[in-house]
Structure 1
Amino acid sequence: MTFSIVGRDARTGDLGVAVASKFLAVGALVPYARSGVGAVATQSYVNPKFGPDGLRLLSEGYAAAEVMALFRQQDGQIEQRQFGLVSASGDSATHTGSGCHAWAGGMARPDVAVQGNILTGPEVVDAMLSAWDKEAALPLPRRLLAALLAGDAAGGDRRGRQSAALLVVGPGRGYGGLSDDWVNLRADDHPQPVQELARLLDTFDLLFGRPEQTRLLSAEELGWLRAELVRQGYVPELPDGPWDQATEAALWALYGTENLEERWVAGGQVDPVALAYLQQRWS
């Protein structure tokens, strides 16, 4: 009922799952990931225990193939199941039971496992792996999404489209650097869910991405920001001249209400992405 990719970024240790299906809210059942441990996709007459149990077993030192073998031993309906998993070391495995609806299959290599069932054909899995290889330089959320887009374009689920999800974890990647939970996006019921997931990731990167570069505000930009801070009601008035604490406090309040706090830079510096967003919003 689903096609998915489970992957690891060997450079950063980030782990994640991207999945799409003709199934309502596939992100509620299929993807699981824990930073420093691994990631699991469980699908086809889903056994939802495979997610938490797989992560627990990986955390206890079991190899991916050993986890797969235990699932086969313990689940009486294993021939209807499909799953893929990747450990924090890049060890991987995929399983497609003989009772999965055609076309069904998968492939696993170091750092990646791709699998799907009720697909238009093997070209879906092939396209996903090709995209994974081609986009190796991308951050993991973008690389997983590229693979999902390729699978969707190759035919995807032969019944049609309904939902998609992207789950990625990494050390200190979460909001404010206070957790490892990085990207958790879902299109639960949409006519083009993979494309909607791409739109959501663009929005996520805008609002929750961290500055890749910063620079000083020009005098013209500073004057524009001060005028907008007054016009938007963040402060009654602001002085002209160099950067000051009153401007900083007002701008910090603006960033907070606009959900741009992850892009905040203090001391008269600015993230060009955040500035461009504000200029477009109020120009």
Structure 2
Amino acid sequence: MTFSIVARSADGQLHGVAVASKFLAVGAAVPGAEARVGAIATQAYANLAYRPQGLTLLRTGVAAPDVVAGLVAADPGHDQRQVGVVGADGDGATYTGAGCHDWAGGQAGPGWAAQGNILTGPEVIDAIRDAWLAGADEPQFPVRLLAALRAGDRAGGDRRGRQSAALLVVCPGGGYGGGSDVLVDLRVDDHPDPVTELGRLLDIHTMLFGKPDPATLLDLTGDLAAEVRRRLTALGHPPAGDDLDPALDSALDSALDSWAGVENLEERLVPGRIDPVVLDHLRRLS
């Protein structure tokens, strides 16, 4: 009823799952992941216990193929199950029970596994595999995962149609404010084109919560500082003081902090400088 990819970044720091299905809120059932440990997708009459059980096995150092073997062996309903697992290192692993609805199957390789059931055909998994491997130079791991999912969707996907999609990515300290390991957790629960909608959400997520690129940061001085000050004032966040005030730089930072907090862009702030993403958003609004 579903197609998915579970994967690990080349440096081993990120793990994730991208999934789509003709099933309500597939993100609530299929994906599981833990930073420094691995990722798992359980589908086709999904056994939700696979997620905690599989991650526990990975945490103790069990390799992905052995995790899959252990989960399947302990499950009397394994004939109708499908699961994909990736660990902290080594090859990914996938399993498709003989009782899964056609077409059903999967493929796996170093750091990835793709699987699906009730698909239009094996070309869906081939497309996911090819897109994943072709994206090796993509610097943004969530984007690479989504591109693989999109390729499967375009190749036919779930033969019953489309309904939901999800993207889960974890890495150490990757969450909001560094307070969790969940870098991305996006779900489209019921939509006529869920994979496209998931892409739109990922773009917004990247704009709001992506980390600024040090190479592109602009100094808040001279004409640029004057422009930012003017635009912040127009938006109701005027910096204190005037052009002769020696505290103007810190006042500008404070005003920018105030405005960015309202716009949910606080993760992109750097004192004394401005991220072009933040500047573009400021210009669009003022």
Greater Cα shift, 90-99 or 105-114: 90-99
Shift of 1:21: 0.2
Q: How does 1:188-207 map to 2 (within 5 A)?
A: 188-207=189-208
* Structure-2 residue corresponding to 1:223: 226
User: 1:26-83 CA distances to partner (integer Å, 9 max, x unpaired)?
Assistant: 0000000000000000000010000111001110121112211211221111010001
Shift of 1:12: 4.5
2:234 and 2:123 map into 1 onto residues whose CA distance is 55
1:236 and 1:86 map into 2 onto residues whose CA distance is 50
* Structure-2 residue corresponding to 1:46: 46
Is the Cα–Cα contact under 8 Å of residues 106 and 116 in structure 2 kept in the other structure?
yes
Pick one of 233, 240, 259 that aligns with 2:264: 259
1:12 and 1:206 map into 2 onto residues whose CA distance is 24
User: 1:123-172 CA distances to partner (integer Å, 9 max, x unpaired)?
Assistant: 00000000001111122101110000000000000000000000000122
* Structure-1 residue corresponding to 2:119: 119
Shift of 1:187: 0.7
User: 1:95-148 CA distances to partner (integer Å, 9 max, x unpaired)?
Assistant: 000000000000111100000000000000000000001111122101110000
2:90 and 2:218 map into 1 onto residues whose CA distance is 38
Q: Which amino acid aligns with 1:11?
A: D
2:119 and 2:75 map into 1 onto residues whose CA distance is 24
Task: Say if 2:27 is the partner of 1:23.
Answer: no
Greater Cα shift, 14-23 or 217-226: 217-226
Task: Say if 2:241 is the partner of 1:273.
Answer: no
- For residue 41 of structure 2, give the secondary structure of its aligned residue in structure 1: strand
Shift of 1:218: 4.9
1:235 and 1:115 map into 2 onto residues whose CA distance is 54
Q: Which amino acid aligns with 2:95?
A: H
2:239 and 2:219 map into 1 onto residues whose CA distance is 24
TM-score, structure 2 normalization: 0.94
- For residue 6 of structure 1, give the secondary structure of its aligned residue in structure 2: strand
Q: Which amino acid aligns with 1:221?
A: L
Q: How does 1:1-283 map to 2 (within 5 A)?
A: 1-138=1-138, 139-212=140-213, 213-235=216-238, 238-240=241-243, 243-267=248-272, 269-282=273-286
Greater Cα shift, 26-35 or 11-20: 11-20
User: 1:224-279 CA distances to partner (integer Å, 9 max, x unpaired)?
Assistant: 22123223222475412575222211111111111001110102x11111101111
Paired residues, number:
281
User: 1:75-94 CA distances to partner (integer Å, 9 max, x unpaired)?
Assistant: 11101000100001133210
Q: Which amino acid aligns with 1:273?
A: V
Give me the CA root mean square deviation: 1.4
Is the Cα–Cα contact under 8 Å of residues 107 and 113 in structure 2 kept in the other structure?
yes
Is the Cα–Cα contact under 8 Å of residues 53 and 71 in structure 2 kept in the other structure?
no
Paired-residue identity, %: 56
- For residue 244 of structure 1, give the secondary structure of its aligned residue in structure 2: helix
Is the Cα–Cα contact under 8 Å of residues 12 and 89 in structure 2 kept in the other structure?
no
Is the Cα–Cα contact under 8 Å of residues 172 and 180 in structure 1 kept in the other structure?
yes
- For residue 185 of structure 2, give the secondary structure of its aligned residue in structure 1: strand
2:36 and 2:116 map into 1 onto residues whose CA distance is 26
Unaligned runs of 5+ in 1: none
Is the Cα–Cα contact under 8 Å of residues 41 and 51 in structure 2 kept in the other structure?
yes
Unaligned runs of 5+ in 2: none
TM-score, structure 1 normalization: 0.95
